[in-house]
């Protein structure tokens, strides 16, 4: 089962996503990114985080450890923003924490140019996302981290943020396990992902036993609100049944059509041109302060 810790110090909120997670220290001396139960995404986002994250770990993909964090809003009483304090007040009790990776960098298109990803590793990530219907790992929002980025330890690819996965659990009665989704603009689509080799390797490992072990990690309280089910274990059975049926039909949803780097670059250039054309003249003179290029030096990834 997921370890349980208690938040002892609140460090800061993270405003890069809509759920406004927070960085906290806990009584085990660890530092965690906490996703709060009171966020607008609700409990299903946390359920998806646990199921997909623990499945990724079981399949050998790098994913930070998850813990259950007991959170007292009084720990963050000094937070200056009222909307964040309201979130904390609505999240007293057990929340979800992810081990914090200090110094990790988002895998942006710029960083991807100097951080090669092996086609089989890329295929494994794409395959997992296709199985779990994670539609939130695109070239513009990768939810992938490169860590560590300094020192002598080689940088590695880490998966984060799966709250938008398992889209089928929002409408259980209208989904089909074999449904295809558009993954052409997956964050690793330009790495030549070998999804067929990944399917041959990973599909046999996604067994009913493994899925039951994974869904058992989800707290009952986060499943109890799922309408249409009498008890949390009934919801767990639904996840197991759906994912098991989906993995058995992987040949029907396996994504294989990815645009090249040149095609993506051309699409981005066309999009930028359309955006620029719609700007007022004064705004067209404002320089682009974003997209600082990444460089590689002495085996480490740095940003200029």
State the burial class of residue 262 (Cβ atoms within 10 Å of its Cβ: 0-12, 13-18, 19+): exposed
Residue 298 within any structural domain of the chain: no
The pLDDT confidence band at residue 286, using thresholds 50, 70 and 90, is low
As for how many domains the chain has, the answer is 2
Domain boundary among 99, 115, 138: 99
Nearest-angstrom CA–CA distance, 56 and 144: 13
Contacts of 284 (CB under 8 A, 6+ apart): 276
pLDDT per position as a tens digit, 71-118: 999 999 999 999 999 999 999 999 999 999 999 999 998 898 899 999
Q: What's the confidence (pLDDT) of residue 290?
A: 45
Mean pLDDT of 262-272: 80
119 and 143 assigned to the same domain: yes
Domain boundary among 60, 79, 99: 99
150 and 46 assigned to the same domain: no
pTM for the full model? 0.89
84 and 124 assigned to the same domain: no
Residue 155 within any structural domain of the chain: yes
The pLDDT confidence band at residue 282, using thresholds 50, 70 and 90, is low
Range of the domain at 163: 105-253
Mean pLDDT of 174-180: 93
Mean pLDDT of the chain: 91
146 and 242 assigned to the same domain: yes
92 and 136 assigned to the same domain: no
Residue 151 within any structural domain of the chain: yes
Residue 243 within any structural domain of the chain: yes
Domain boundary among 99, 118, 148: 99
């Amino acid at each position: 089962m997921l370890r349980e810790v208690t938040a002892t110090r609140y460090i800061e909120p993270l405003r890069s996503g809509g759920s406004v997670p927070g960085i906290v220290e806990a009584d085990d001396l660890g530092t965690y990114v906490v996703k709060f139960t009171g966020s607008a995404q609700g409990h299903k986002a946390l359920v998806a985080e646990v199921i997909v994250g623990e499945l990724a770990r079981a399949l050998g993909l790098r994913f930070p450890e998850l813990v259950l964090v007991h959170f007292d809003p009084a720990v963050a009483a000094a937070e200056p923003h009222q909307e964040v304090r309201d979130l904390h007040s609505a999240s007293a009790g057990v929340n979800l924490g992810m081990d914090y990776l200090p110094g990790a960098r988002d895998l942006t298109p710029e960083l991807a140019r100097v951080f090669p990803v092996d086609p089989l590793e890329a295929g494994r990530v794409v395959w997992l996302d296709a199985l779990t219907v994670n539609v939130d790992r695109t070239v513009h929002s990768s939810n992938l981290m490169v860590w560590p980025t300094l020192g002598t330890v080689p940088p590695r690819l880490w998966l984060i943020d799966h709250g938008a996965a398992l889209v089928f659990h929002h409408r259980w009665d209208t989904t089909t396990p074999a449904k295809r989704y558009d993954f052409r603009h997956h964050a690793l689509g330009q790495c030549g992902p070998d999804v067929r080799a990944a399917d041959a390797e990973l599909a046999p490992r996604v067994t009913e036993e493994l899925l039951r072990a994974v869904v058992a990690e989800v707290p009952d309280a986060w499943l109890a609100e799922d309408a249409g089910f009498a008890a949390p274990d009934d919801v767990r059975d639904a996840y197991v049944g759906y994912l098991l049926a989906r993995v058995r039909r992987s040949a029907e949803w396996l994504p294989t059509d990815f645009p090249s780097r040149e095609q993506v670059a051309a699409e981005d250039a066309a999009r930028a041109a359309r955006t620029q054309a719609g700007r007022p003249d004064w705004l067209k003179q404002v320089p682009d302060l974003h997209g600082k290029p990444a460089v590689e030096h002495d085996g480490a990834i740095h940003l200029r």
